[in-house]
Structure 1
């Protein structure tokens, strides 16, 4: 008897042909580029308006070319998603981080113990502030912001650290709500 693959989500997952054209085209473009459809696209597709808003927010924060590097952005996601117990984001964004940082170890280090990860001083400031935002955002002071500025971060970069942390707090909770399963492909990428 064949084994059923684990569900992508505990909520409905629509068929590609049943999706609005813009969403279907977006998913097909991702599939063409990566060779598979990341489960986040399938898990969120059953609510098209929220799908569009989610990916517009994601792309606005994660696809920027100025300020934080793409690897630094992914470091924030992996470190904060680990604190939020989000298996999907740790695995999926860990794969992206390994590719962007050209480092097969960094994602595992950040997800396990970011304080011992092999980070530059700048990266340590970024990740440390992101982790403060996860657990103690109400404790952020003017002195904390000044320390980041003194460390060479711009106000736009500081904003992005907070915004990425906040966005992925929502994403992590949606992934946990849906029991979103990481694609098997992510585990082996850039190892």
Structure 2
């Protein structure tokens, strides 16, 4: 099947700074391939390093916002934005974090039909509202997150993760970034 081409040329890996070539090697060792987001962001190595450090910080689990919750936010934002790259790559991460590929697919398709508990529904609702109608957000939206057990630090993370994926989605869409074919087979029974 023919897929859309990337809109932007990717740098040759051999020409990248050593630290990025090392990150690419680690990705190959850990997951078996280099995610295309790495290749795309490496066009500006100094910015890629800053973005990746930020990404890693945002994905540090806390007491009431675990790895699956954080990937769920990425998937909900990406699904709303129709960002194929992030739906596919973070769909894989969500399947892995949940240990439930069916639930992960429901969340990626329409989180409202996934049978989520009140806490996860509130997180998805907030992430989608920040994506679709940020001008309508009020302090009441944050209170709803407090009401389901999130601390102010975790609420900050929900906001920052959703905002970061809105940025990342726009970068991927703007550059025509395509998901790695390898993602489609990962974690599938």
Residue 90 (structure 1) aligned to one of 81, 84, 87: 87
Aligned 8 A contact 2:98 2:104 in 1:
no
Question: TM-score of the superposition, structure 1-length normalised?
Answer: 0.92
SS in 1 for 2:7: coil
Residue 130 (structure 2) aligned to one of 126, 133, 153: 133
Deviation of residue 163 (structure 1)? 0.4
Hey, what's the Cα distance between the residues in 1 that align with 2:16 and 2:66? Answer: 33
Hey, what's the Cα distance between the residues in 2 that align with 1:155 and 1:96? Answer: 25
Show CA shifts across 1:139-165 (max 9, x none): 222222112111111111111111001
Give runs of ≥4 in structure 1 deviating > 6 Å. 3-6
Structure 1 alignment gaps of length 5 or more: none
Show CA shifts across 1:110-142 (max 9, x none): 222111113122111111111111112222222
Matching of residue 66 in structure 1 with residue 48 in structure 2:
no
RMSD of equivalent CA atoms? 1.7
Instruction: Tell me which moved more, 152-161 or 9-18.
Output: 9-18
After TM superposition, the structure 1 = structure 2 runs for residues 160-179 of structure 1, keeping only pairs within 5 Å, are 160-179=157-176
Deviation of residue 28 (structure 1)? 1.1
Hey, what's the Cα distance between the residues in 1 that align with 2:4 and 2:131? Answer: 30
Instruction: Tell me which moved more, 133-142 or 16-25.
Output: 133-142
Matching of residue 48 in structure 1 with residue 45 in structure 2:
yes
Deviation of residue 4 (structure 1)? 9.2
Deviation of residue 5 (structure 1)? 8.4
Residue 29 (structure 1) aligned to one of 26, 31, 45: 26
Deviation of residue 171 (structure 1)? 0.3
Residue 116 (structure 1) aligned to one of 113, 118, 133: 113
Rate the CA distance shift 1:114–1:4 in 2: closer, same or farther, 3 A.
closer
